[in-house]
Amino acid sequence: MSRDYKKAASGLIKGRVLFDAPMKQFISMKVGGPADSLLFPRSVDELRKVVRYARRKKIPFFILGKGTNLVVRDKGVRGWVINLTQGMKKIQMEGEVVEAEAGLPLQRLVQFSIQKGLTGLEPFFGIPGTVGGGVAMNAGAWGVELKDVLLSITLMKEDGEIVEKPHSRLRFSYRRLILPPSWIILKGRFQLKKGKKEEILERVKSYSEIRKRKQPLDYPSAGSIFKNPKEGPAGKWIEEAGLKGFRVGQAMVSERHANFIINLGKAKAEEVIRLMELVEKKIYEKKGISLEREVKVVGE
C-alpha cells in the first residue's frame, strides 16, 4: 500500500516531494522512522490540490510545521506528511496588524515585529515552531498566550474552501485551539501595538536569558512534554518525584528542567515514549496527579 502512496505523490506538485524521508531530520526531538512521502507544497493552491487528492484517494496525511511538539514512532508514517515550511512563509503588516502564513517560523514573526517597533510578541521569543503550529497549540510563555494577540485566522476546510474566522468565533483552551481535525490553518493576523524599540529589545533580552538559564537548549527535545495540570507546574511534580536525570536508553528527563525529555544523541522514539509513560505512572502513584501530554505521538 505504501508504494501506492508514493506513486500518487510523484509529480503532483511543483514543490519538493521526498520518499522514505527520515522523520528524525524534520522534528526537533530527532527521533522517528521514515514517512512514505513528504510533500512541500509551495502555495495554498498546491496545498489544496494535495489535500483534495489525498481525501479522494483515501490517503492518510497529516500537516507538519517544524515538528517541535511531536514524537514520530520508529517505524515511521504511512501515507503523506505535508510540510508547510517551504512555501507558505509570507509576512506583511498594515498599521499595527501583522499577517503571517502558517509555515513561517514563529521566530521570524517575533523578529519582524521587533524590527517594526511593534510590541506584544516578546514573550514568544525563543519558542521554536511555526506560526501555524503556535496557533494550533495556543503557544504561551510568561503568562501570555498567542490567542491574546490573535485577531483572526484563515483556514482551509475539508473540501478545500477557505474561510477566515475572527477571534470571537474561535475556541481556545490551554495549549489548544479547538478545530475540526481536518481543517488546516493557513495564516494568522495579529494585533500588536506601537512600542519603543529599546524597551522591546530589553524585554526580549530578559526573556531570552531566563529561557537559556532554565531550559536544556543544548540537546534535541520537543519542548515541554506535559501540560501544566491545575495543581501547578508539571516540572515541579516531576522534580519532587525525584525523576530529574532519569533515563530510558538515550532519552532522559532533563536535569535543568524536569518537564523536558532530551535526546542524549541516539534516542529511539520508543525510549522517549517509554520514559513519558514512566513519568506519568510515577506522578500518578506518588502525587495522584494525571499528567496530560502536550506532545503528540504519531506513526507506527
Q: Left (φ > 0), alpha (ψ -120 to 50) or beta: where does 6 sit? A: alpha
Write down the catalytic residue from 42, 78, 108, 175.
175
Give CA torsion, residues 17, 19, 22, 23, to 10 deg.
50
48 classed as catalytic: no
Write down the catalytic residue from 122, 224, 254, 271.
224
Distance (Å, rounded) from C-alpha 97 to C-alpha 16?
32
Distance (Å, rounded) from C-alpha 28 to C-alpha 267?
12
224 classed as catalytic: yes
The β-bridge partners of 173 are 176
175 classed as catalytic: yes
Between the alpha carbon of residue 60 and those of residues 52, 64, 65, 76, 182, the distances in Å are 12, 13, 17, 13, 11
Which residue matches cell numbers 535526546? Answer: 263
Closest by CA position to 87, among listed 102, 73, 72, 74: 102
Just list the catalytic residues.
Answer: 175, 224, 294
